[in-house]
A and B are shown apart, each in its own frame.
Chain A
Amino acid sequence: MSDLRSLYQEIILDHNKNPRNFGVLDDANRVIEGYNPLCGDRYTIYLKLEDDVIQEIKFSGVGCAISKASASVMTTVLKGKTVPEAEAWFEKFHALVTHPSGEDADGASLGKLAAFAGVSEFPARVKCATLAWHSLKGALRSSATSVSTE
């Protein structure tokens, strides 16, 4: 049960049930789809980028609790951030979920993202946690319109 609780933390269950910034962003100037063909998780990330700053960010789609909460928390963290800042958050988050628990998990600097530290104990779920983030990275680079985990 303790392992499970480290994965399904309250904050993750909450964002899964009540995802923030969920829906279509009508005036988005960057739209990208992220898809995991193994499990069928599929999200669309909408960005309104102005002068290298993420003015608005929303997402829509379906997937598991980990992928949905990750997308939701991501949108709350990145709103108002510059592109270089967002890319730095991507690196931080990626390190958090792919490194053994404890390493690099600096709770203070990670804020809400620290809730995903338990994912590193569940290798099969790393792709769930990073799907939205990989899509975001694609959207920031703008040329792509879809990102697949495979």
Chain B
Amino acid sequence: MNSTTVKKGVRDATVSRFDPGTVRSDFPALSVTVKGKPLVYLDNAATTHKPASVIEAITQFYSAENSNVHRGVHHLSELATEKFEESRRKVQRFLNATESSEIIFVRGTTEGINLAAQSYGGTVLRNGDNVVISAMEHHSNIVPWQIVCDRVGASLRVIPINRKGELLQEEFERLLDERTKIVALTHISNALGTVNPVQEMIRTAHDRKIPVLIDGAQAVAHGHVDVQELDCDFYAFSSHKMFGPTGIGVLYGKKELLESMPPYQGGGDMIKSVSFSKTMYADLPHKFEAGTPHIAGAIGLGAAIDYIGELAMEEVALHERRLVQDLTDALTDLPGVQIIGTATNKAGVVSFTIDGIHPHDIGTILNEDGIAVRTGQHCAQPVMDFFGIPATARASVALYNTTKDIQDLVAGVRHVQKVFH
């Protein structure tokens, strides 16, 4: 442990404010109108809006601090480097990672998983080995593993789900064997909203000395994530789903694993020395950050973490749970509406279908009422196949949503039914 070690629960002690009505005014994009109506934004699982402080941090960087990092000795380059590395330390504290060198900046969750799959998976997987994932994974936690499995002759094993959209734990244990080289699991399902018991599942895998990657894309905006408490080996997430900019994300990895892994991409900034016969790679985290990074993005992510840090995330999670419950109750009461994904532990997401009306049509009609939801397969085609449906409409909440948003959506769903009947 070095001097930057942080303790669990530090953020909990922050004196905080949370009032969904008040926080709305922090997000300029929430005041736009759609079709002459105020925006009702319920597509937060796709991306969240950005508070003014994040937008300002990015503007400030390009206006007054712009320079490349880890390069020059001049003032701006030193300033940019300091702010970039300060963001890394903010991420470290946000995840409660042991060291900031365990924080790798990537483009997003997808690149984070690809990095782990190519560099770690590509090194340890051999012909006949297997990777265990689940039936509720986003395509970005399926395809990267498929690619590396195909290359080396390994196979993909899939933990099945029940009709509620929960992982079958006994099946999970059955799938693990001495040829399992890694388990890759979503923390919260983007299509169903299921919160998986990842901590217990990590323990189960670790009992067999199998490392675990957690796809945290849907989890980071909804509550406290502590990688030491989870004891996960990798944790990937995207900035834009937690009020930061697009194009930047993080792969957390345990130091000893990251150190054992070969670089993902080659280029500038990831080397110690280069000659045509031999290249020495840089130390962590730079070994995995070839080329000029998304500096403004990392600074924006840092500002998003600051923003979240000022809020009481326990209250946020409670508020969101209430919204999800209210929406679930209201939709359940509507004849002809089915909720897809009824796990006991859910967060953020309510997926639904309406008898005789395709989700695409639901989305178009809701849009006429100013309501933004996602419709389609949510990059989770296997989930749709399991439930025997072509697609769903998905409402997903963030900390700035209100009871009125939920009421507007329920009225919108009635409107959809009226147009079709």
A: residues with CB less than 8 A from B are 1, 3-4, 7-8, 13, 17, 38-42, 62-66, 68, 122, 124-125, 128
Please provide the chain B residues from 28 to 55 with a CB less than 8 Å away from any CB of chain A in the complex. Answer: 35
Contact (Cβ within 8 A) B368 A1? yes
Within 8 Å CB of A68, what residues of B?
358
B: residues with CB less than 8 A from A are 35, 356-361, 364-365, 368, 375-377, 381, 384, 390-391, 419-420
In the complex, which of the residues B35, B360, B419 contacts A64, with contact meaning CB atoms closer than 8 Å? B360
Separation of A38 and B390 alpha carbons in the complex (Å): 11
Separation of A131 and B390 alpha carbons in the complex (Å): 16
Within 8 Å CB of B390, what residues of A?
39-42, 62-63
Apart from A4-B365, A41-B360, A64-B358, what 6 extra A-B contacts exist at CB < 8 Å? A39-B376, A39-B391, A42-B390, A65-B420, A66-B361, A125-B364
B274 CB to closest chain A CB (Å) equals 40
Within 8 Å CB of B356, what residues of A?
17
Task: Decide yes or no: A13 and B376 within 8 Å by CB, A40-B390, A63-B390 being known contacts.
Answer: no
Separation of A59 and B50 alpha carbons in the complex (Å): 45
Contact (Cβ within 8 A) A40 B368? no
16 contacts between A and B (CB under 8 A): A4-B419, A8-B361, A8-B365, A13-B420, A39-B359, A39-B375, A39-B376, A39-B390, A39-B391, A41-B360, A42-B390, A63-B360, A65-B361, A65-B420, A66-B361, A128-B360
B352 CB to closest chain A CB (Å) equals 16
Separation of A134 and B391 alpha carbons in the complex (Å): 22
Separation of A122 and B364 alpha carbons in the complex (Å): 9
In the complex, the chain A residue whose C-beta lies closest to that of B421 is A13
Separation of A71 and B315 alpha carbons in the complex (Å): 50
Separation of A66 and B356 alpha carbons in the complex (Å): 13
Within 8 Å CB of B377, what residues of A?
39-40
Contact (Cβ within 8 A) B420 A3? no
In the complex, the chain B residue whose C-beta lies closest to that of A5 is B419
Please report the number of residue pairs spanning A and B whose Cβ atoms sit closer than 8 angstroms. 52
Separation of A124 and B365 alpha carbons in the complex (Å): 12
B147 CB to closest chain A CB (Å) equals 18
Separation of A62 and B358 alpha carbons in the complex (Å): 9
Within 8 Å CB of A64, what residues of B?
358-361
B90 CB to closest chain A CB (Å) equals 36
Separation of A71 and B388 alpha carbons in the complex (Å): 22
Separation of A30 and B354 alpha carbons in the complex (Å): 34
Within 8 Å CB of B375, what residues of A?
39
Task: Decide yes or no: A40 and B419 within 8 Å by CB, A4-B368, A64-B361, A65-B357 being known contacts.
Answer: no
Within 8 Å CB of B365, what residues of A?
4, 8
Separation of A41 and B360 alpha carbons in the complex (Å): 9
Separation of A126 and B155 alpha carbons in the complex (Å): 40
B79 CB to closest chain A CB (Å) equals 43
Contact (Cβ within 8 A) B364 A7? yes
Contact (Cβ within 8 A) A63 B358? yes
Separation of A116 and B356 alpha carbons in the complex (Å): 20
Within 8 Å CB of B358, what residues of A?
62-65, 68
B220 CB to closest chain A CB (Å) equals 26
Separation of A13 and B419 alpha carbons in the complex (Å): 9
Within 8 Å CB of B364, what residues of A?
4, 7, 122, 124-125
Rank and list the top 9 A-B pairs by shortest CB-CB distance, nearest first.
A64-B358, A64-B360, A40-B390, A65-B361, A39-B376, A40-B391, A62-B390, A64-B361, A40-B377
Contact (Cβ within 8 A) B357 A40? no
Within 8 Å CB of B360, what residues of A?
39, 41, 63-64, 66, 125, 128
Within 8 Å CB of B361, what residues of A?
8, 64-66
Q: Name which of A17, A40, A66, A125 has the most chain B CB atoms within 10 A of its CB.
A: A40
Contact (Cβ within 8 A) A40 B384? yes
Separation of A4 and B359 alpha carbons in the complex (Å): 16
Within 8 Å CB of A1, what residues of B?
368
Contact (Cβ within 8 A) B376 A3? no
In the complex, the chain B residue whose C-beta lies closest to that of A7 is B364
Separation of A4 and B420 alpha carbons in the complex (Å): 11
In the complex, which of the residues B357, B368, B376 contacts A38, with contact meaning CB atoms closer than 8 Å? B376
Separation of A145 and B359 alpha carbons in the complex (Å): 27
Within 8 Å CB of A13, what residues of B?
420
Separation of A65 and B363 alpha carbons in the complex (Å): 12
B398 CB to closest chain A CB (Å) equals 23
